Amino acid sequence: MVEKRSIKLILPLEQLSAFFLLLQKGVWLRVQTGCSVASLLTEQFGIAENYIVERITTLFLDFKPIDDLETAYVTDGSTLALSSAMPGLVGTTMRRGSHLAAMRGDISCPNRQQAVSVMGRIKIKLFNLVMNELGETFLAHGVFLTNGELDNVLSEMDDSFWQSVDTAFVGDLQIDSASLVNQIRCADPGDEILLKVEFKR
């Protein structure tokens, strides 16, 4: 789809949790596809290798658990889920490099041949500690939503959220919160928006 409009919000970091449900559901991002998961996370999103090793212990690519981030390649339309350690036997079994990985049978993500490198989109899903620690990274990168999806997200925000909005932009035009909501609700629900959220510390 052609990118028609962009919205940027600047918020205090404590409002990150207002986007947790959206991050769990998954957000679409524009990336260079055809690369390994390791390259995607480190080179395109600037996530430190030691953080990936120590914190992102469970990864799913197209709903299959990943053991080797260097041989799992993302393609246009892929879904990548990132999580820290999940509890219980299932969590241990799905963990990257788990000694129980053999119990997964054939659901593990197979090693893929490197795909053609093209600009495309992938869906990122975040869970538990990873969502809290990396949510701002992906939201600042910019996520694609329809007007209808964004309207649903913003309609769940309480008064404290709107009072905390430091600045809002539609394109290059600064706008107040009430006008922003009105524009979204008056637009075609199927039209696409690029949403960027920056958080102040």
- Asked if residue 1 belongs to a domain, the reply is no
54 assigned to some structural domain? yes
Model pLDDT for residues 18-58, shown as the tens digit of each residue: 999 999 999 999 999 999 999 999 999 999 999 999 999 99
Q: What is the pLDDT of residues 117-160, one digit of tens each?
A: 889 999 999 999 999 999 999 999 999 999 999 999 999 999 99
Q: What is the pLDDT of residue 5?
A: 87
Higher pLDDT: 80 or 98? It is: 80
CA pair distance 148, 17, nearest whole angstrom: 21
Kindly state the percentage of the chain with pLDDT values over 70.
83
pLDDT at 87: 47
Range of 69's domain? 6-200
Answer whether residue 71 is part of any domain: yes
Decide: 118 and 162 in contact? Cβ < 8 Å: no
Query: What is the DSSP secondary structure assignment for residue 71, as one 8-state letter?
Result: S
On whether residue 188 sits in a domain, the answer given is: yes
**How is residue 116 written in tokens?**
């053609």
The whole-angstrom separation of Cα 76 and Cα 163 is 38
In a domain, 183, yes or no: yes
pLDDT, one tens digit per residue, over 82-105 is: 998 754 434 444 455 544 445 445
Predicted TM-score (pTM) of this structure = 0.85
Q: Is 177 part of a structural domain of the chain?
A: yes
Domain count, the chain: 1
For residues 69 and 36, the answer to whether their CB atoms sit within 8 Å is yes
Alpha helices in the chain (DSSP H): 20-25, 37-39, 49-55, 88-94, 128-141, 147-155, 159-164, 177-186
